[in-house]
């Protein structure tokens, strides 16, 4: 959106956002801090007159090997009146590789500078909304991107420590300079209390910095973020896409040609496409083992149907955190909650930052911890996640009619044999569960007598014989039954961008606070994927090494599915679809195997609220029709905003 169209707009705030909260008066308010009234921050400072400056934070890193410590370019917008009154303000920090290559938000905004190189436009609304309320907004270019030096190492040490260096500088532990080389001292205007926010790659950086335990980082808000880069680029040994780290580096790289070639070579060799093993390269990009070091509070938002940054990323991170935390789970895919439930999101984010950065005792930590969208436009608040009532339930696989098996009841005898069909699409695999489809096997529950909820991480345990040293195994849980659902597989991943706008903060001629409104994209369909999962059979023992299979021997292979939280309505049927390789969500490395499945020693484990019915000997009839409103998923899904 052009700032010229908004030249006449100085301040525009959506009615109702930041409504007065009934809370105790904070000490800062008692001391006369202008931007704190009735227990919350309010917009009293001029956004148009804000201090806008750019500095370069010095690091101890040098992965571009030029003999000069790498520097991180940081663009700052902060309230001038607060500085004039010597009021030190907290910081909202977004560290991103996207500021010059790809843009931020639904409208792909880029940073813009004046002729002197001073920031004039920051992407998104964070500065527009929060700077008038007594915050500074800091946008840092990750190493090797935009105006920073060094080389982007895609989730690695350089990336995380370059962002951490900014937090250190904000807390007086680092050095920065202006473009002319004069010192830039952050402690003159900030109290060092920093919150990091960002979607996708940006939120992943926030996770990584929090895992260092850095002092001064008080909260993070990771949106659709990664907690393990191995799990992003591998599915339990299954390769997502060839040369993926190198591709991501090229997309965001801001350095001259050739400067970062040694780093690209390290990405290629370290990621080890040939084996799919979890190794030292991936361990350096796995933030979960250091979750115990996180001191910051954490507010996570993640789409339940995100097939880009899949849900294991938030679930495994969430379950390891032992800090104040909050969780939003909408039904969309890779979408910012600002574009799903805008007013509620901004209000909640405002309250969250007021609590953890301004120190206002507004009670948000005592509110329900989790907010979940259960159906289009229907939201519920809950005490925790997964659901407290969810029980780990083992569901037997039955022989059924010999073609379509059953879910539930006693373990069934018999076998299923199929040969991998790499060309089998997801739509074909799940579309006709009652028919024989080459390349997959299907199991159905009876029609549900009452609704059930799956809340947590399901898994499928398979006892198999394979005629090759390995095969990939893919499992899908399917809700068969007509309902109106969020259309996350369409363009927009569950939202439609409208022609109207709403404004969220103050504006200048160069940087307006107005964004096109959005609406949920919904579709009435007769089935929906609840969750998916993948496993390379040769990595069944460990992700760190390959253990080949021997033809004729039986092996137990567990296929973990992605975490989910979905309600299955009464009258619907729950289905399990198992196939081998999946050419839509991964790049198969082993295809063509014939697999024999022992039903008696195989099962589905569900984190279940409620109970599945006991099926009959014959699976219920289920018919499905493809939806014209859905598009087929793309195999290659780059980590872009």
As annotated, the active-site residues are 200, 306, 334
User: What is d(CA 48, CA 511) in angstroms, rounded to the nearest whole number?
Assistant: 9
Closest residue by Cα to residue 220 from 93, 133, 77: 93
Classify burial at 34, counting beta carbons within 10 Å of its beta carbon; exposed 0-12, middle 13-18, buried 19 or more: middle
**Pairing mode, if any, of strands 514-520 and 495-506?**
antiparallel
Residue appearing with tokens 């962002």: 163
Query: What is the three-state SS of 78-145?
Result: ECHHHHHCCCCEEEEEEEECCCCCCCECCCCECCEECCCCCEEECCCCHHHHHHHHCCEEEEEECCCC
Tokens of 248: 């991501």
- Cα 31 versus chain centre, distance: 40
430 and 588 Cβ atoms separated by less than 8 Å:
no
- Give the largest Cα separation in the chain, rounded: 80
**What gap in Å lies between CA 510 and CA 50, rounded to an integer?**
13
The Cα 33–Cα 294 span in angstroms is 30
Say what angle helices 244-252 and 261-271 make with each other, to 10 degrees.
Answer: 150
CA distance 120 to 114: 6
Determine the 3-state secondary structure of 557 from DSSP. Answer: strand
DSSP string spanning 437-458?
-TTEEEEEPPPPSS-EEEEE--
| Residue 32 CB-density burial (10 A; 0-12 exposed, 13-18 middle, 19+ buried) | exposed
Specify the pairing of strand 495-506 against strand 11-13. Answer: antiparallel
Q: Which phi and psi (to 5°) does residue 246 adopt? A: -65, -40
DSSP letters for 375-417: ETTEEEEESSSS-TT-EEEEEEEE-TTSSEEEESSSPPP-EEE
Is residue 461 within 8 A of residue 602, CB to CB? The reply is yes
Helix 157-170 and helix 201-210, axial crossing angle in degrees, nearest 10: 70
Q: Which helix (H) or strand (E) holds 193?
A: strand 190-199
């Amino acid at each position: 959106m052009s700032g010229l169209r908004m030249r006449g707009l100085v301040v525009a705030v959506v009615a109702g956002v930041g409504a007065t909260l009934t809370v105790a008066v904070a000490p800062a308010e008692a001391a006369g801090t202008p931007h704190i009234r009735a227990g919350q921050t309010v917009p009293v400072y001029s956004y148009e007159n804000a201090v806008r400056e750019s500095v370069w934070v010095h690091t101890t890193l040098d992965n571009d090997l030029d003999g000069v410590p790498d520097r991180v370019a940081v663009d700052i917008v902060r309230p001038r009146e607060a500085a004039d009154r010597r009021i030190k303000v907290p910081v909202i920090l977004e560290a991103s590789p996207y500021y010059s290559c790809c843009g931020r938000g639904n409208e792909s905004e880029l940073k813009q500078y004046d002729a002197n190189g001073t920031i004039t436009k920051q992407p998104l609304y964070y500065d527009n909304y929060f700077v008038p309320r007594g915050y500074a907004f800091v946008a840092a270019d990750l190493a090797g991107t935009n105006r920073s030096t060094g080389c982007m190492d895609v989730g690695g040490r350089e990336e995380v420590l370059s962002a951490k260096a900014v937090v250190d500088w904000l807390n007086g532990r680092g050095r920065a300079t202006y473009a002319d080389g004069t010192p830039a001292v952050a402690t003159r205007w900030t109290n060092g209390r920093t919150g990091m926010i960002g979607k996708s790659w940006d939120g992943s950086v926030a996770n990584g910095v929090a895992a260092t335990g850095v002092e001064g980082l008080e909260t993070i808000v990771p949106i659709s973020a990664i907690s393990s880069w191995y799990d992003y680029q591998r599915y339990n040994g299954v390769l997502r896409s060839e040369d993926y780290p190198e591709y991501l580096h090229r997309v965001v790289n801001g350095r001259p040609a050739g400067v970062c070639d040694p780093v690209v070579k390290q990405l290629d060799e370290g990621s080890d496409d040939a084996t799919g093993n979890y190794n030292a390269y991936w361990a350096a990009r796995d933030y979960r083992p250091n979750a115990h070091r996180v001191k910051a509070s954490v507010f996570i938002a993640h789409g339940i149907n995100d097939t880009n940054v899949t849900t294991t990323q938030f679930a495994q991170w969430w379950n390891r955190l032992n800090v104040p935390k909050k969780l939003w789970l909408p039904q969309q895919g890779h979408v910012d909650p600002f574009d799903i439930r805008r007013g509620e999101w901004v209000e909640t984010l405002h309250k969250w930052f007021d609590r953890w950065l301004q120190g206002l005792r507004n009670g948000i930590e005592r509110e329900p911890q989790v907010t979940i969208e259960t159906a289009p436009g229907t939201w519920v608040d809950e005490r925790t996640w997964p659901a407290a009532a969810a029980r780990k339930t083992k569901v037997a696989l039955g022989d059924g009619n010999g073609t379509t098996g059953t879910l539930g009841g006693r373990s069934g005898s018999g076998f299923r044999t199929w040969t991998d069909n790499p060309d089998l699409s997801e739509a074909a695999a799940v579309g006709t569960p009652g028919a024989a489809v080459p390349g997959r096997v299907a199991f159905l529950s009876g029609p549900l007598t009452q609704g059930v909820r799956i809340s947590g991480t399901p898994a499928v345990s398979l006892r198999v014989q394979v005629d090759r040293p390995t095969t990939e195994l893919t499992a899908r849980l399917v809700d068969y039954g007509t309902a109106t659902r969020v259309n996350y597989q369409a363009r927009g991943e569950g939202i439609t961008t409208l022609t109207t706008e709403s404004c969220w903060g103050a504006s200048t001629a160069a940087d307006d606070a107005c964004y096109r409104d959005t609406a949920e994209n919904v579709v009435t369909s007769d089935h929906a994927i609840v969750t998916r999962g993948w496993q390379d059979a040769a990595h069944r023992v460990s992700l760190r090494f390959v253990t080949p299979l021997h033809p004729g021997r039986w092996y137990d292979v567990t296929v973990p599915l992605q975490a989910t939280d979905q309600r299955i309505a009464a009258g619907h049927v729950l289905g399990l679809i198992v196939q081998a390789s999946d050419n839509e969500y991964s790049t198969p490395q082993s295809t063509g195997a014939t697999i024999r499945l022992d039903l008696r020693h195989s099962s589905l484990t569900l984190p279940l609220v409620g109970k599945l019915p006991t099926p009959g000997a014959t699976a219920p009839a289920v018919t499905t029709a493809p939806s014209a409103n859905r598009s087929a998923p793309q195999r290659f899904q780059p980590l872009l905003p």
